[in-house]
Amino acid sequence: MSLLSVRDLAIDYATKGGSLHAVSRGTLEVGAGEVVGLVGESGCGKTTLARALTGVVPRNATFEAGEIVFEGRNLLGRPVSEWRDLLWRKISFVPQSSMNALDPVYRVGAQMDEVLRLRGGMGRAQARERTDELFRMVGLDPRRGTEYPHQFSGGMRQRAAIAMALALQPALVIADEPVTALDVIVQRQVLDTLRDLQARLGVSVLLVTHDISVVAYVCDRVVVMYAGEVVESGTARDVLETPRHPYTMGLTNAFPDLERAGGTLAPIAGGPPDLRHPPRGCRFAERCPFALARCRAETPPLVVAPNGHASACWRSDEAPALSELAKDPSTWTLTSTSAA
């Protein structure tokens, strides 16, 4: 059984221009001890979905449908106190900018201490011991616990945020773009730490990112979102090497690869639809070089293949052939009349 199972989650934001369907068909599973990447571009709903798992959503957001089953219990519709009970102890969160995770006016060690004592019910001595242990675990010098967040480098802050997320040994850590703001070397070091700790502690991780190379480096499975919907999911290898949805194909082409001789990168023309008025049919159709009339009329369901590789595309059966075509940059220029 999965540790976390999200099914057909729909979240709307009330905006001046009407309701914005931030997440429409959010479906994903995270198994025990698994690292799952949630990939997509800005505005695709990945952060909304990830934050929803902690029960923390903006005031103008409403859950419209679906369920969030964690350890066999549907959390949706439960009182806030019940969510709050799970936070830190069962589910913890590493935000994108660790400046947000750490309060700038408190010493880093004291913030860790607070989590351990208030949430974990530890005594003073025990909390101090655990704080030191956590610092060492993520590669920080425990003596620096007396410093303030601004005295830490970006990488150190991110390490501190990871340490805090792991403080009470949760079953699931949700990390929102944990390395996006970091330099390549620091990024690699933080990812190595994350990967190492994950393997040692067996914690499940849901890693939200726009960067498929991060997914390739740390994730067992990947879920791809586009315009509020999950369009593809499967093992990292299946999704990145034999993508079945044209959007994923486009994404993998748009990334430069240092170990492959330079060809031409192919952008995906156009931009995501306005989620206040999502188009009929497949939401990617207007940018998709392979779209048929049917794609613009009917929404393709997320179909799961026997090997667990799921995709929401009417032409999934032709994926191998389309994937070959997608590798040719000229395929993507055909529709680029409305270049973004």
Partner 1 sequence: MDAYVHVRGLSKAFPVRRGVGQVLRGEHPVVHAVRDLDFDIAQGETVGLLGESGCGKTTTGRLLLKLVEPTSGTARIGTRELAGLKGAALRDFRRDVQFVFQNPFDALNPRIQIGRSLAEPLINAGVPKAEHADRIRLVLERVRIKGVELLERFPHEMSGGQLQRIVLARALVLEPRFIVADEPVSMLDVSVRAGILNLMRDLQDSLGLTAIYISHDLALVRYVARRTMVMYLGSLVEDGPTEDVISRPLHPYTRALIAAVPLPRVSQTRDPLPLRPGTPDARKVGAGCAFVNRCPVAIAACTAERPPLVTLPGGRRVACHLMPAATQPRPPVTLSPAL
Q: Could you say whether residue 211 binds partner 1 (CB under 8 A)?
A: yes
Which one, 83 or 247, has the nearer CB to partner 1? Answer: 247
Angle at CA of residue 300, ends 299 and 304, nearest 5° = 150
Cα–Cα distances in angstroms (integers) from residue 252 to residues 46, 75, 333, in the given order: 18, 35, 16
Q: Could you say whether residue 101 binds partner 1 (CB under 8 A)?
A: no
List, in sequence order, the alpha helices (H) in the chain.
46-52, 80-86, 98-101, 108-114, 124-137, 154-166, 184-201, 212-218, 236-241, 246-253, 293-297, 319-326, 329-333
Q: Could you say whether residue 121 binds partner 1 (CB under 8 A)?
A: no
Which one, 255 or 317, has the nearer CB to partner 1? Answer: 255
Q: Could you say whether residue 37 binds partner 1 (CB under 8 A)?
A: no
Give the one residue of 31, 120, 139, 278 binding partner 1; rule: CB under 8 A: 139
- Residue in the structure block whose two tokens are 């369009």: 231
What lies within 8 Å, CB to CB, of 124 at 6+ separation is: 117
Kind and range of the H or E run holding 36: strand 35-39
CB 215 within 8 A of CB 180: no
Please, what is the minimum distance in Å from the beta carbon of residue 179 to partner 1? 9
Q: How many residues interact with partner 1 (rule CB under 8 A)? A: 54
Q: Could you say whether residue 104 binds partner 1 (CB under 8 A)?
A: no
* Short-list 165, 167, 183, CA closest to 175: 165
For residue 140, the one-letter residue type is L
Give the one residue of 84, 107, 117, 188 binding partner 1; rule: CB under 8 A: 188
Which one, 66 or 145, has the nearer CB to partner 1? Answer: 145
Which one, 71 or 213, has the nearer CB to partner 1? Answer: 213
Contact pattern for partner 1 over residues 275 through 314, marking x by CB under 8 A: ----------------------------------------
Residue 25 pairs in a beta bridge with 229
Please, what is the minimum distance in Å from the beta carbon of residue 163 to partner 1? 12
Q: Could you say whether residue 334 binds partner 1 (CB under 8 A)?
A: no
Residues that bind partner 1 (CB under 8 A): 41-42, 138-141, 153-156, 159, 183-189, 192-193, 196, 210-214, 216-217, 236-237, 240-241, 250-259, 262, 264-269, 271, 337-340
